[in-house]
Every structure is written in C-alpha cells, then in structure tokens.
A and B are shown apart, each in its own frame.
Chain A
C-alpha cells in the first residue's frame, strides 16, 4: 500500500508563473489536507478537501491560491502568479474518516 505521494518534489518557478502541486492520497483515503511550511517557520493549515468538495479553506490565501480534489485523479494545489513569498514546502496529508493523517514527502517550491 503506497503512502501519500506528492509531485513534483522540487519545483522552481519565476515570479508571475503558475505552480501546480499534486497529491495522491493513500489508497482508501478520501480526505486530503494541504499544509504550508514557510522557511524557518512551523506548519500551517491551508485547506481540507474530500472528494469533489472543499470542507475548510480557512487557511488559504484569498487570492491566487486554489485547491481541488476531483472524483478521479490527484488533489491539486494551484498557485497563480507566484511571488517570492510563496517559496515554501507544501505538504499534503490524507486520512480516512476520523483517523490519523499521513503525510506526503512534500513539494519544495522555489520562486526566483
């Protein structure tokens, strides 16, 4: 049973470009969470999704950021018009209902 998978592991973008981060949850998990870790800071919640639904997006910046978890395929975190302040490690986690969250290896985004 493969764990949570994220790709790419490293992503470099220039200011103004778009970044797409993918997360495939563990088999059987229908809950996906995205977290951000800014340099030298702790983890912060961004968004919680179930299949085709956003349950809680209280941690998402209001502009440029969006997330989806379609019926088929991975969850996508999309950052439009990236800025240097978006440089961070983005982790996703998955769970089934009310169970332990398991984390992916993260995507390290660098904005030049």
Chain B
C-alpha cells in the first residue's frame, strides 16, 4: 500500500463543474503540497498546507491532520485546468523529501 493515496485516478468533467480530488496519507507529516503538471510540462506547486484551508483564485485546498486527509477543489472548472494533480507529503525530521501520491489525471471538456 502506498504511503500517499489519491482518488480518483482519472476524472473527466464538463466545463463549469466543481471538482474535488482527494488525498490520504498514512505517515506523519509536517506539510502537504498540491502540484499541477500539464502534459509534457513542468511542475507547478499550487499549495503547501500544514493545517486548515488555503485559497488561490478558483483553487481551494484543505487538510485535516487528525484524519490524514487533504482535498483539492476547483470551482468553475475550465479546459485549461486539464492536467495531472498530485499531492505530496513532507515527512518530519531532518529530511525534506516529498513523498508523492499517484496523481489524478483531470480532463475538463468544453
């Protein structure tokens, strides 16, 4: 079992829909990242969370440390949101390495 699990693995939505991607983890963490990667493109770090909720434009990320769960929401989705979204957790201790989820491939259709 992976230390970081995401669901769904694939998601197709119609433009304008509200989208939720979930991330669960089994290890102790100091923070969690949400990353976006367009096909063949680079990686954009959308959020880093250690508690509560963050919002940036149409993107909202929440984390529940007790339940070891985070969600990424996209409101009023647009075809340009089509990308792979990956959550990655930052373990505690001296190492700052990220442990990545399996990614969610999102396709938003016009």
Docked CA distance A45–B98 (Å): 7
The answer to whether B43 touches A44, judged by C-beta atoms less than 8 angstroms apart, is no
Interface size class of A (residues with CB under 8 A): 20 to 34
Q: A42-B101, A42-B102, A101-B33 are in contact. Are A31 and B96 (CB under 8 A)?
A: yes
B-contact bits for A40-70, CB 8 A (1 contact / 0 none) = 0011110010000001101100000000000
A-contact bits for B58-92, CB 8 A (1 contact / 0 none) = 00000000000000000000000000001010000
The answer to whether A42 touches B103, judged by C-beta atoms less than 8 angstroms apart, is yes
A89-112, CB < 8 A from B: 91, 93, 95, 98-106
B-contact bits for A7-21, CB 8 A (1 contact / 0 none) = 000000000000000
The answer to whether B86 touches A35, judged by C-beta atoms less than 8 angstroms apart, is no
Chain A residues with CB under 8 A of B13: none
The answer to whether A103 touches B96, judged by C-beta atoms less than 8 angstroms apart, is no
Q: How many residue-residue contacts, CB under 8 A, span A and B? A: 61
**Distance of A92 from chain B, by nearest CB (Å):** 10
Q: Which of A42, A44, A100 contacts B48 (CB 8 A)?
A: A100
**Distance of A44 from chain B, by nearest CB (Å):** 7
Chain B residues with CB under 8 A of A99: 48
**Distance of A89 from chain B, by nearest CB (Å):** 9
What are 28 contact pairs spanning A and B, CB under 8 A?
A31-B96, A33-B96, A42-B86, A42-B102, A42-B103, A43-B86, A43-B88, A44-B100, A45-B98, A55-B95, A55-B96, A56-B95, A56-B97, A58-B95, A58-B97, A93-B45, A93-B98, A95-B96, A98-B30, A100-B33, A100-B45, A101-B33, A101-B45, A101-B96, A103-B42, A103-B43, A103-B45, A104-B42
